[in-house]
Chains A and B, each alone.
Chain A
Amino acid sequence: MSRIQTRFRALREAGRSALVPYVTAGDPDPDFTVPLMHRMVAAGADLIELGVPFSDPMADGPVIQAACERALAHRVNLRQVLAMVARFREDDPDTPVVLMGYLNPVEVMGYETFAQEAARAGVDGVLTVDLPLEEGEDLWAALDAHGLDPIFLLAPTTDDERARRVAARARGFLYYVSLKGVTGAAHLDLAAVRERIQDLRRLTDLPLGVGFGIRGAEDAAHVAAFADAAVVGSALVRRIEEHLGHRDAALAAIEDLLRAMRHAMDARTQESGP
């Protein structure tokens, strides 16, 4: 069983939802990321999504675009991101790490090389935002061969038939994009998300995470009431942006937000779920 599957099984048994922070690797500089990952785990993160910086992040809002630009100013590349995961793994053998990014840097490295080196570094899952079901079989086959979980997005525009096909190819968990828009957008309709998650439960047994637009403890707690994971990205990355040049303050601000989310989420028992 993969680290992701193990983690979700344990959470399910405990009746808890996963808190999943996203940060862009190398933002604001390459030395910040590994200590940040440990700090997030200490604050209650169950799984970490690590963004691979890309020059043209089409699905991301302004906050994560700026994070990519800060990381790329240090020429942070995919190999360095894998090295960060390997360093994180030296002290944390349990917390799953999912790489989230765009296809082109992976294309350049080569699917087989990437899958092999990602597995060796201790990566657990891979989400390539711009690689839909129809185009990715070669990459996913390489991930399969190295025991990595392919993670997929489902959107409000994804119909049941397609969701079923995506779920059949996915492993680990499914990531439901809670709104039509880019990361960090503002118009989260929790009632609609809840309804859709309940529909999706009938199509798949995979854990269902929700992200895009979760800003604070209250949103996270609402999401935890019906989903298996709450993903928070832009709200954390914004803390980095607000404390540029002050690493301790940035770490503390991120820790505070995650602790508040964890606390609010655990105060609610999960209402639905198998």
Chain B
Amino acid sequence: MSEPYRLPDERGHFGPYGGRFVAETLIEPLDELAQAWSRLRDDPQFRAELDRDLAHYVGRPSPLYLAERWSEQVGGARLWLKREDLNHTGAHKVNNTVGQALLAQRMGKTRIIAETGAGQHGVATATVAARLGLECVVYMGAEDVRRQAINVYRMRLLGAEVVPVESGSKTLKDALNEAMRDWVTHVDDTFYIIGTVAGPHPYPEMVREFQAVIGREARAQMLEQAGRLPDALVACVGGGSNAIGLFHPFLGDEDVAMYGVEGGGEGLASGRHAAPLCAGRPGVLHGNRTYLMEDEDGQIIPTHSISAGLDYPGVGPEHAWLKDSGRVEYVAVTDDEALAAFHELTRCEGIMPALESSHALAYARQLAQRLGKGTDVLVNLSGRGDKDIHTVAALEGIRV
């Protein structure tokens, strides 16, 4: 398989993006992590252990499913779903936490920390920590703790300590700040499992490599099941790990178009959204240079999306690069459009998608109609929607 580029460079740069923008105390631990990662990434024993966990613990490979009835209803391209919702813990997040936890174990770290927004990455982290017998602390914005009570309880059942973060906007970005503060305080025994392809080098590259299993499988499955590559890939983008995971193994396939779908909230014009690639500009936050939602003074501004997993003011630096290079097109879908797609897929395929993934579905629907019959669109169904039942019910005025 051809690789169109070899990014990031040795210091984690994707063109002008990425890098390592952290306080001095974290430079040495990041070097230690980068060294461990470069030593183990091609180590046959580490790979074998990871592959075994992905097969028997996560349940990979995840199926590639042709949604025939939905395709017919949409009336255009054939729509294929990469079923990351069928993974253990119900989303793609676990691909990464399994990998980083193995790395933590090899590095002799005994304590795991993580940040979480909706709680999916927190649950996936608490899950692998429980399995490996590692102490686990998850930082979560106080506002999200309130909104996502079930996932908080899930993490606690798994033995994790969930720490509500009361600073700033009390959401995902503040949880990330607090996890960084914990790490700087406990660098000797603690491994920070970042949940997306953002943060200081080597995280964006490392998380991409753990998630690229999605795209490698999907590419092979597509060739096997359809006898051809898809015309387009569609994935939602919050931090962007499921999207990078799907896109990356296809980057050398020039005829495969790629679309990253951001949380458009109440519409880009409203200002209430979570679409830094569509409506933000480059800046520096959380250890990397990337597109951000910021005000004219360079302060990070609150975001809005119906989907907690997309509700983040930054995005992985490789997406920033892929946007500027034109290889991937980034678009936004509103809360209402995502919600309609959630209902449509649930009712016509019996698959309840996460609200994050529903953004990708909503755009795939438009794209399928545009591309028309005889084409193939592959959508990353990054997570299942059980966690969103309360949100959806509340929007419809139903108490469950």
A residues sitting closer than 8 Å to B (CB atoms) are 54-59, 61-62, 65-66, 69, 72, 75, 77-78, 102-109, 129-132, 134-135, 152-159, 162, 166, 177, 180-182, 185
Return chain A residues, CB-CB under 8 Å to B299: 54-55, 72, 77, 104-105
Find the B residue at minimum CB distance from A108: B298
Contacting pair A132 B27 (CB below 8 A): yes
Contacting pair B25 A131 (CB below 8 A): no
Return chain B residues, CB-CB under 8 Å to A78: 297-298
Find the A residue at minimum CB distance from B19: A135
Contacting pair A58 B181 (CB below 8 A): yes
Return chain B residues, CB-CB under 8 Å to A105: 297-299
Find the B residue at minimum CB distance from A185: B185
- What are 9 A-B contacts with C-beta separation under 8 Å? A56-B300, A59-B23, A77-B297, A78-B298, A108-B298, A130-B287, A132-B22, A181-B185, A182-B184
The distance in angstroms between the C-alpha atoms of A61 and B184, with both chains bound, is 11
Contacting pair B297 A65 (CB below 8 A): no
9 tightest A-B contacts by CB?
A108-B298, A105-B298, A157-B28, A77-B297, A155-B25, A181-B185, A59-B23, A55-B299, A153-B24
How many chain B residues sit at the interface, stated as a range, is 35 or more
Secondary structure of the A contact surface, majority rule = loop
CB of B51 closer than 8 Å to a CB of A: no
The distance in angstroms between the C-alpha atoms of A59 and B286, with both chains bound, is 11
Min distance, Cβ B180 to any Cβ of chain A, angstroms = 5
Return chain A residues, CB-CB under 8 Å to B301: 55
The distance in angstroms between the C-alpha atoms of A223 and B28, with both chains bound, is 25
Return chain A residues, CB-CB under 8 Å to B173: 56
The distance in angstroms between the C-alpha atoms of A185 and B187, with both chains bound, is 15
Return chain A residues, CB-CB under 8 Å to B300: 55-56, 104
Secondary structure of the B contact surface, majority rule = mixed
Find the A residue at minimum CB distance from B167: A65
The distance in angstroms between the C-alpha atoms of A77 and B294, with both chains bound, is 13
Which of A58, A129, A153, A182: most chain B Cβ within 10 A? A58
Min distance, Cβ A123 to any Cβ of chain B, angstroms = 17
Contacting pair A158 B283 (CB below 8 A): no
The distance in angstroms between the C-alpha atoms of A156 and B25, with both chains bound, is 7
CB of B177 closer than 8 Å to a CB of A: yes
Find the A residue at minimum CB distance from B185: A181
The distance in angstroms between the C-alpha atoms of A62 and B165, with both chains bound, is 11
- Apart from A69-B167, A130-B21, list 9 A-B contacts with CB within 8 A: A55-B168, A58-B177, A58-B180, A59-B181, A104-B292, A129-B23, A155-B24, A157-B24, A180-B187
Of the candidates B184, B282, B294, the one whose C-beta lies within 8 Å of that of A59 is B184
CB of B11 closer than 8 Å to a CB of A: yes
Given contacts A135-B20, A157-B25, contact A103 B284 (CB under 8 A): yes
Which of A62, A158, A181: most chain B Cβ within 10 A? A181
Min distance, Cβ A25 to any Cβ of chain B, angstroms = 13
Given contacts A103-B21, A104-B283, A107-B284, contact A182 B27 (CB under 8 A): no
